[in-house]
A and B are shown apart, each in its own frame.
Chain A
């Protein structure tokens, strides 16, 4: 019963991740797309919880929903005329047809690779997955992966300064 319940919830979370993608891809109103993206990010966070990746799930919530989505809404409200918001998210008809063909072809190729692979998902040097990931992740970040950690902190500093400079540049 317990496992059944878990699987039902997993189905719900997966549907919450995938169904709003249609709105992101096909909605004419860009605000609707942004709100659909909210549900997709929320569902992805739930999927991380099902992977026992608690830290990653919380990071997804904080950064994607608290940061990226809020920035996205700000950009929508600052750049577009709210009066004609219904036509703000137009689809280029020719490119949409091309995109449909490309997507279908990619789906075919990836599905073929998926089915033909014979599930090589067993890892030989498999370790022990920890019960709580935050402590282990912190240890890894500050020992083995210290250099990427520092590099990405420099990247964030550059982004902070760069975005301020770009957004403040006045029109000549």
Chain B
């Protein structure tokens, strides 16, 4: 059981987090930015579950993972409703072009 340890989980989730940060900053499309945020949330949930399994040996970390997943789903629903609304109003979802506060 050398490889399946908390260190490999931390490395995987660090990778997911950094990729999410990069995607979130560099994209122009709001949907692309949203994908980056999903990657970040996924990495944090993975970290909670890994610490719950290998460090604390109980289930409370997994509860936090479940709450993170639920919040990610709620955020997805709200974000996509907002995207549809923005697209209908502005005709575009390019984050650089949405600079008018009044609408």
> Do chains A and B stick together as partners?
yes
- Contact mask for chain A residues 114-135; partner B; CB cutoff 8 A; 1 contact, 0 none: 1000010111011111100100
Partner of A126, one of B56, B71, B72: B56
The B1-18 residues at the A interface (CB cut-off 8 A) are 1-4, 6-10, 12, 14-16, 18
* A67 (CB) vs chain B CBs: closest residue: B73
The A120-170 residues at the B interface (CB cut-off 8 A) are 121-123, 125-130, 133, 136-137, 140-141, 145, 148, 152, 155-156, 159-160, 162-164, 166-167, 169
Partner of B28, one of A90, A106, A122, A167: A90
Q: Main secondary structure on chain B at its contact with chain A?
A: helix
Q: Is the CB of A89 within 8 A of B27?
A: yes
Q: How many A-B residue pairs have CB under 8 A?
A: 217
CA distance A137 to B73 in the complex (A): 20
* A162 (CB) vs chain B CBs: closest residue: B78
Q: In the complex, what's the smallest C-beta–C-beta distance from A114 to chain B, in angstroms?
A: 7
Partner of B42, one of A64, A127, A148: A64
Q: Main secondary structure on chain A at its contact with chain B?
A: helix
| A interface list, Cβ under 8 A from B | 3, 6-7, 10-11, 14, 17-18, 21-22, 24-25, 30, 33-34, 37, 40-41, 44, 47-48, 50-53, 55-56, 59-60, 63-64, 67-68, 71-72, 74-76, 78-80, 88-92, 95-96, 98-100, 102-103, 106-107, 110-111, 114, 119, 121-123, 125-130, 133, 136-137, 140-141, 145, 148, 152, 155-156, 159-160, 162-164, 166-167, 169, 171
